Every structure is written in C-alpha cells, then in structure tokens.
Amino acid sequence: MKKGKKIFKFLIIIIFLLFIARGGVYVYAKITPAPVINRANNLTLYDNNKKVFFQGSGSKKWISLNKMSKYIKDATIAAEDKNFYKHHGFDYLRIIKASITNVSNKSVEQGASTITQQYAKNLFLNFDKTWQRKWKEMWYTIELEAHYSKREILEGYLNTINYGHGVYGIENASRFYFNKSASDLTLAEATMLIGIPKAPSIYSPLINKEKAKERQLIILNSMVKNKMITRKEKKEAYNTDLIYYGKKESEELSTVMYYYDAVLDELKTISSIPKSYSDSKGLKIYTYLDRNSQINLEESIKKEIPDSSKIQTSVVMMKPNSGRIIALVGGRDYNKSEYNRATSAKRQVGSTMKPYLYYAALENGFTPSTTFTSEKTTFTFNNNKDYAPNNYNNIYGNKPISMATAIAYSENIYAVKTHVFLGSEALIDVAKRVGINEELEDITSLPLGTEEINIIDMAKGYSAFANLGNKVSPHLIKKVVDGNGKILYEDKHKGVVVLNKSLCFILNNLLTSTYDSNYIDYNYPTAINLENKLTHKYALKSGTTDTDNWYIGYNKDIITAVWVGYDDNKKLKKTEYKYGQNIWLNSVETYEKGKTNEWYKIPNNVLGVLVEPISGRPAIETDKKKKLVYFIKGTEPEGELITTFEEKLNRDLVKAS
C-alpha cells in the first residue's frame, strides 16, 4: 500500500515537472525569432533558359482561410485533427491511443500527427525517418504554435500540402480537379480533396476512384461524428457523381513532373544543401531541362502510343560529354501515374547489353572482321549442363560472319560464343567501368540482356562510348541558390577516363551497321527501316525481350535511351515493338534538326579498310558490296579471315548440333 502511494506521488511529481518543462519550452520558443513560413521550403525550379517550370509553396494561388469553402475547413479538422483548436501542437491523448493500438497490433496502423506537426514537416523538413528529424519536427511545431494563430497555421497548411499530380495547395487542387476556386467547393468535392494528401498516389480519384471514395466516406463519417454535417448530407455527398477536370491552368507538360521528382531525388544527395530548409528561405534550383526536348518527347509518346493502351515508357536524353540530363520521362502521364520509371524501374535490357561485350572483345584482340559461325549451337560446359540460345526468328547464316555483321543482326549465337571465349569477367568488368552498378550475375546469357538495369544507368554506360572513353555522372541540377542569394551548390561534374578512345571510335562505327543496307544478306539489320529516315549519323542498338523493348542511340552531341513495356511484365504484341523505335527517332531527329551532321574524327592509330561486309575479309573488285570498316593499325584483315578463335572454342567449349 505504501509502495503504491510512493509510485503515485512520484508520477504526480514527474507530470508536474513535465508541465513546467513544457511551459518553459513554449516561453523559450516565444522569445526566439518567428519562423518565416511564407518563404520557407519554397522551391522554384528553372530550365536551361532560366525560365520557371515549377514553383512550390510560393505559388501565387494562395487563398485566405476566410475565402475557403466551410466544408474544406471542417473536413480537414474532422479528418486530420479534431482537437486542433484545443491543443498546443501535440495531441497527447491521441499519441497514447495510437501507441497502444500500434503496439497491440505490432504494426503502424494509426498516426497521431496534428495539423501543426504536419505543417512543420511540410515547411521545413526532409522526410528521412530519423530521430534527429523527429526532434526538429517537434521544435518547429512548438515554434509555429508559439508565434502563429490557429487560423494562420490552418491556412498555411491547406495552402502548402501536396494533393498529388504535382499540385500543391487547396486552391491549385480545386482548380486542377474541379476547375473552380476552393471558395466554391461543395461538400462532396471538399471531402474528396481532403482525402488525397494522406497518400496522393493511392487516394487521387484520377488514379483510383474506388480507394478515393473509401477515403471520402471515412471523412464524411468523421464529420457526422463531430456534428459538422447531418447523415442526410453525408449520404447526398457520398452519392454525388463527381466530374473531374484533371488539368492545370498552364497544361504545357504532363511529364515535366517526372523531371521535377528526379531533381528532388538528386537534391537529397547534395551534401551542401541543408537537410532542413528552415534557414534557406526557399531554394532556387537551376536545372539542365531543355523544355523543347521535353515537349517533343511528350508529343512523340502521345502520337505513337494509343490512348487506350496500358503500355508504359521511360525516356532519358543526356549530353554524353557531361552527363547533363536535358529531358526525362518516367511514364506516359504524370497525372495518371506518378511512378517514375526512369529513376526507379529496372528492366531486362535485351541486346542493348551487347555493346559492353563487344568493347571487351575489341580490348581482348578481336577486330570488326573477327568471325564466328552463325549456326544453331548448343554450348556444353564442364558440369554437363547445356545452353542452347536461339537467334531472333531462328535465322542463321550457317557460315562465318564478322563482328560487324553480328552487331547489325544482333546475333545471339555470335554474342554467346564471344562471351564464352572471353570469359564472363570481361563483360562484367567493362559494364562496371562505365558505371553499371548492378551486381551482374555470372551467367552465359548475360550478353543477351537477361539482367535488369535502370535506364539512366544504361544511358550512363553508353555515354562512355559516345564521349570516347569517359565515365560521367548523370545529373539534372546546374546550381542551387537560397533565398538570400547564396550559392549552395554549383555543378562541377567531370568525367573519368575508363575506356580506350580508339576502340570506342571503332565500336561507335560498328553500331551504325544496325541500319546499313550493306549488311543485307541472309538477314536484315535490326533497324534497317530507319536508313532513309535518319538525317544524321548515330550509333544505335536495340534490345528486345518478350516484355521489354529498348532503343539506345547516340552521337557526340546527344544520347537518347527509350524503354517501352508493361508495368506488370505483360508480353508485348508484335505491333507494340515499333513504339520505342519511333519515339527514339522523333526525339533525336527533332533535337538534331538544323545542326551539322558531325561524326567522330578518326584517331591517328586507326585505319579504314574496305571489306566485304558479311565475311569481313578485304574487299575485291568482284564484290557487289563493299564497306569501309575501321581497325587499329596493324590489326586490319589480310587474306583468309577464319581465325583461331572459333577453332579454340569448338575444341574446348562447344558442341555444334
């Protein structure tokens, strides 16, 4: 009994001390300078011409609380923080209840953040789940409550919160979803909007109407419970068939928000940018976005892919010498899907993996005229396991063909023979050197692109060929300036030499064979239909699997990588393989329009030789087709071209069937 009284007295003392400490904290917060909420976390993004393409919480569409629809204010309080006007930033009872529920269910099912806490988080903080961030969030919450009225906090919260699709603030959201001001929203419209910020990618009615209606009903029920509306009003609002507008006032681009998201991802990796923006008074972020290229990409995608199709795409346009990303698409329409496939997705790359292999081959003594026999082949290894790859459509020359021909046709048999002869470490080493960070599996099918890689990484890898040997770091940000005009970051990316300049030159020329009619023989080059459509010279490689289609092409000026496929890995139809090629063609040709058709200068140690294209032997007068192919001096072909490579491979590693 005495022990119980002592514990009770101890708890009373602790609570008393906590109240004193709490009071002291609020007094201290009161005498500190008020946080500047009208400029904090105001992100303004500029394109490469210094024109604004995104402005965050500094948007001119700020609406005062007294002009907002009553339903907006009531629905927000009911849904997010029913004790908003009673607490001083923290709802302790709610915190205790949520903690008990989460502990009991062994999962985080309930949150206890108040509107003030959420506003503090949106204004000042990044969203890393660390204790340091939590403590900062608590302090900013106290500062807001100490310096601003409840009306000011609620008004600021509603004007800065994310409503999905790159839309921030209730006025912008109202105009985007319903084409009207927030002052004119009905109960049905207001409760639909207020449900979105909890998880915009889930509760946006433009993405998932069913989930959005479920969330709306929860909010309506909360309003009834808090006696803000009647059951009849709830029923009428829930049964209202809402019509969605789904457009921004300046609907110039629906894909530019993918670029914006990628910029924010990059911003988090720059150490000189404060993790909390509270002292920066907003940030001005200057990017390398080429608005014309972004517009053209979007128009090309809309033109090529039918509206009714669920197929998706990602595209990256990058300057190969610097790694500057000038245009980026992470999906067909950000308003319908915010998932950024350019930054987040990894897909099977198909035959776009082969250039890494063929660079490794050139490095290890192969030349463009090195031959292997194109024939149905089964590879038998020491563990008695067989591997029998096929060429596309099972087309084989049944004769020796040159590396140049293998690239033109994207020959799988030649690629696997090369891979087996070199050893898997050769391909993996080149891929790592140029910046492919994936842990590539040591498998025989690796050069056929069975591994999944991100599109930006693939563009980075190819850029080392395009710039003649330098690994670059893809990036979108040129400069970051804070609200006081102080430069917080400036791009100083430099490339690192990882490949041989002369071998890159040879490979780049080999990759033009993919649309060269000189290589028409028992098969056709993979992009032969582009030969008469291209006004400029490009190195080009396609990649095709059952579920993925790639086109990556470049010259010294620009590299463009295109992926097309379904998010659920559904198989592509034959007619759908043309989308990627057409998007790539339209993008690069529009970008290069009016520019000089420049190609790489021949290195001093490289020699051009006229060869018969398919066999790779030196051309003779009677040959119907002759092709100028480049070699390191001293390795050019002379006479018979059947090399010892295949003889060794047949003797040690292969059983032809």
HEC string for 272-330: CCCCCCCCCCCEEEEECCCHHHHHHHHHHHHHHCCCCCCCEEEEEEEECCCCEEEEEEC
Q: What is the largest CA-CA distance in the chain?
A: 114
Q: How many angstroms separate the first and last alpha carbons of the chain?
A: 91
* Token pair recorded at residue 529: 């239909």
CB within 8 Å of 475: residues ≥ 6 apart: 266, 288, 323, 324, 325, 491, 493
E strand or H helix that includes residue 14? helix 2-31
Shortest CA distance to 260 belongs to which of 338, 312, 314? 338
The answer to whether the Cα torsion of 18, 19, 24, 27 is positive or negative is positive
Alpha-carbon gap, residue 336 to 319, rounded angstroms: 29
Shortest CA distance to 206 belongs to which of 215, 217, 196, 220? 196
**Per-position DSSP letters for 39-70, written without gaps between them:** TTT-EEEE-TTS-EEEE-TT-S----GGGS-H
Alpha-carbon gap, residue 268 to 466, rounded angstroms: 29
Catalytic-role residue among 57, 69, 80, 410: 80
Shortest CA distance to 180 belongs to which of 295, 72, 289, 32? 72
Alpha-carbon gap, residue 497 to 58, rounded angstroms: 43
Neighbours of 359 (CB within 10 A): 26
Active site residue 502: no
Active site residue 542: no
In terms of C-beta density within 10 A (0-12 exposed, 13-18 middle, 19 or more buried), how is residue 370 classed?
buried
Residue 639 per-residue DSSP state:
S
Q: How far is CA 117 from CA 129, 208, 653, in A?
A: 15, 28, 66
Counting every residue written for the chain, the total comes to 657
* Token pair recorded at residue 49: 């011409």
Neighbours of 342 (CB within 10 A): 25
Alpha-carbon gap, residue 403 to 625, rounded angstroms: 17
Alpha-carbon gap, residue 115 to 106, rounded angstroms: 25
Catalytic-role residue among 314, 351, 463, 587: 351
**Per-position DSSP letters for 547-592, written without gaps between them:** SEEEEEEE-SS-EEEEEEE-TT-PPPPGGGGHHHHHHHHHHHHHHH
- Long-range contacts from 435-441, C-beta under 8 angstroms, 24+ separation: 435/460, 435/461, 435/464, 435/471, 435/472, 435/473, 436/356, 436/460, 436/461, 438/346
Residues taking part in catalysis: 80, 351
